[in-house]
Amino acid sequence: MRLLLDTHALLWWVDDDPQLSTQARGLIGDARNDCSVSLVSAWEMAIKCAIGKLKLAVSVQRYCQEHLPANDFQLLPINLGHCTLVETLPLHHRDPFDRLLIAQAWQEGLTLVSSERASMPMGSSESGNPRPAVHHGSNQLRRLGDRRAEAVFKANG
């Protein structure tokens, strides 16, 4: 399985935080799964550090440079397709970081491991493109639509 960790999932994994669910921990720790972390998470962490909402022992750059390779996580860049796909997502969740992570997972065919509780119902956007259904808290895989991202797992509890 190909996973995309959201920012909380990354931080909780690195810190071995008990808020990371057993299911998410098992998926991330399974050597058969490929784990990615988006540049979106680095951006979110940098902003939250700058405004005092996140405290790290090192800079965000050093944090990523140390912990991504140490955990065999791949860095997922942001491209124009990811950014423009955000336009077609429903507005059930307005957080720009989460919206871009959802778009990346959708476009890259990744399973998003997320701490968020919002859900987006399946359907068509105004542009006619399919939009993902995001299911949180499920103990089973849920299809997001066509052959793209397989599921979103709630990372906590």
Q: What's the pLDDT tens digit per position in 75-118?
A: 999 999 999 998 888 877 678 899 999 999 989 999 999 876 43
Report the pLDDT value the prediction gives residue 151, as an integer from 0 to 100. Answer: 43
Pick the more confident residue, 51 or 120: 51
pLDDT of 116 reads 62
pLDDT confidence tier of residue 142, bands split at 50, 70 and 90: very low
Percentage of the chain modeled with pLDDT above 70: 73
46 contact partners, CB below 8 Å, separation of at least 6: 60
Going from N- to C-terminal start, the domains of the chain cover 7-122+137-147
CB under 8 Å to 55, separation ≥6 — which residues? 49
Local confidence band at 40 (pLDDT 50, 70, 90 cut-offs): very high
The answer to whether residue 141 scores a pLDDT higher than 80 is: no
Kindly give, in sequence order, each residue whose CB lies less than 8 Å from that of residue 32, ignoring residues fewer than 6 positions away: 1
Q: Out of 3.40.50.1010, 2.60.120.260, 3.40.50.2300, 3.10.150.10, which CATH number does the structure's domain 7-122+137-147 have?
A: 3.40.50.1010
